[in-house]
Amino acid sequence: MPNEFTVRTHSQEEFIDITNSVKEVVASSHIQKGVAVVYVPHTTAGVTINESADPSVVEDILEVLRRVVPFNFPYRHLEGNASAHIKTSIVGSSISVLVERGNLILGTWQGIFFCEFDGPRTRRVWVDVIGE
């Protein structure tokens, strides 16, 4: 089984910076060179990489997703969370980050964000580090 940690979300929609949690998994793996795969096993939450220095960037991403994929639309999926499913497919369910010298290699402004679209809930994140 992959490493797993949980994310407690507090809003219907929010992006949560999980970079440090992923770094902890990489450190405990003792892998020096390889790739970390971060996978979200949910259909209404995903994961993405974007700017973590200015929190208004992820707020802007969420606002545009809300406009592109409205809550109210004659969706066929009658559970009431069709827009959350669609937003999840737009951002995706996994990301990969290179690992060098035991550390995640991210760009200066990059962070890894858990993307909640149908919260609040307790969510799972799987991380596997592949390498040597």
Report d(CA 8, CA 101) in Å as an integer. 30
- The minimum distance between CB 64 and Zn ion, in angstroms, equals 22
Contacts with 37 (C-beta within 8 Å, 6 or more apart), sequence order: 94, 95, 96, 127, 128, 129, 130
Closer to Zn ion by Cβ: residue 82 or 95: 82
Helix or strand or coil: residue 101?
A: coil
Closer to Zn ion by Cβ: residue 13 or 97: 13
- The minimum distance between CB 78 and Zn ion, in angstroms, equals 9
Closer to Zn ion by Cβ: residue 5 or 75: 75
- The minimum distance between CB 8 and Zn ion, in angstroms, equals 20
Preceding amide of 120 cis, omega within 30: yes
Contact set with Zn ion (CB under 5 A)? 79, 81
Closer to Zn ion by Cβ: residue 48 or 81: 81
Contacts with 67 (C-beta within 8 Å, 6 or more apart), sequence order: none
Residue of minimal Cβ distance to Zn ion: 79
- The minimum distance between CB 77 and Zn ion, in angstroms, equals 6
Report d(CA 67, CA 2) in Å as an integer. 35
